[in-house]
Amino acid sequence: MSAERQRTSKKTTNKRKRSSINRFVQLDRNDVASHRPGKSKVLQIWNFVMRNLENILLPHPVKTALLLCSIVLIGSVLHDLDVMPKSYFSGSKNVFNQWGVKWGWGWTLSLLTPYMVLAGLLTCDKQWYLVLKDCLRLAVGTFFWFAWIQLFLAIEHVTGTCNASGFPTKKSCIRAGFQWDGFDISGHTFILIHSLLTILEELQLMRQIYSNDRKIEMSCQHISWLDTVQPMLKQLLYIFTFLLVFLCYLWMWMLLCTAVYFHTFSHKILAAPIAIGTWLFNYRFWYQKPFSPGPVRSLNLKS
């Protein structure tokens, strides 16, 4: 009886393995048939990973917001306790800080804009203006980024003084080689959280595909030239999804480095809720209203 149970269990295990392998082989076979084998294989592997790890690679924005708050809070405590060892990332001149975080919103826009255009082309449903309307969400995000950063700079200027006499402004103080001491709300903390939550909100389109194990269906079938480039558009959409997921985890790492190495506790603790509050206002309140750029739309899916 025991031997029979073992044989049955072994058959069930083998069946599950074959099912998993078949599922991998069949991923988007039709979409990649017309492309070169090397590229197709890479995209098949990426899609397989995403379908099995989408909860980790594409977490829900609300859960991510809580995680980011924890990173800022715990990292700020560690910074004030001065227990973190020095590393390459502890210096403000490191390449990721100089060319990454300082241009953070620019990098976010450079990847998110083509992604949203591609997603819009695949789901425009004969209404081209919807593509532009979706991109308006990025314009709103850019407005809030600029407005908050300018406010942070103004607060630092009003509350600060130069550590040498004769320099009434921050610009003249720093140009002379001195230091300006003011209440410097962490712009890096704001930019990183603002970028992360914006990316994850917009990637909820792809999360639907991966979580439901389905394919993108082109809805602009009345446009002949789009029919001819449809497979390429789908592959480009997957590529930009990969790049955005990578960018998310890079920004998360840089937020951790910012929390443990830079700024004071109050500077970061104030910047984090401002970024999260901006996200909540836009995506959870305003975008749900009629007179707004609108919420993130659902992709048309097919089994």
Give a yes or no: residue 45 inside a domain.
Answer: no
Average pLDDT over residues 69-82: 91
> Residues with Cβ < 8 Å from 195, sequence gap 6 or more?
104, 105, 107, 108, 247, 251
Over residues 117-136, the pLDDT tens digits come to: 888 777 665 566 778 888 89
- CA 106, distance to chain mean position in Å, is 13
Answer yes or no: is pLDDT of 195 > 70: yes
Of 124 and 2, more confident: 124
User: Is 53:242 a contact under the CB 8 Å cutoff?
Assistant: no
Total count of domains within the chain = 1
For the entire predicted model, the pTM comes to 0.79
User: Does the active-site annotation cover 194?
Assistant: no
pLDDT at 233: 78
Does residue 261 form part of some domain?
Answer: yes
Kindly state whether residue 28 falls inside one of the protein's structural domains: no
Is 51 part of any domain? no
From 79, 194, 263, 267, the catalytic residue: 263
> Does the annotation mark 222 as catalytic?
no
* Range(s) of the domain holding residue 99: 59-302
Residue pLDDT, tens place only, 213-231: 555 554 444 455 555 666 7
Position 291 in a domain: yes
Q: Is residue 136 part of a domain?
A: yes
Confidence band of 303 (pLDDT split at 50, 70, 90)? very low
Task: For residue 2, tell me if it sits in a domain.
Answer: no
Does residue 227 lie within any of the structural domains? yes
Could you give the CA distance from residue 198 to residue 137 in angstroms, rounded to a whole number? 9
- Structure confidence at residue 145 (pLDDT): 96
Catalytic residue, from 79, 188, 194, 267: name it: 188
Over residues 238-254, the pLDDT tens digits come to 889 889 999 999 999 99
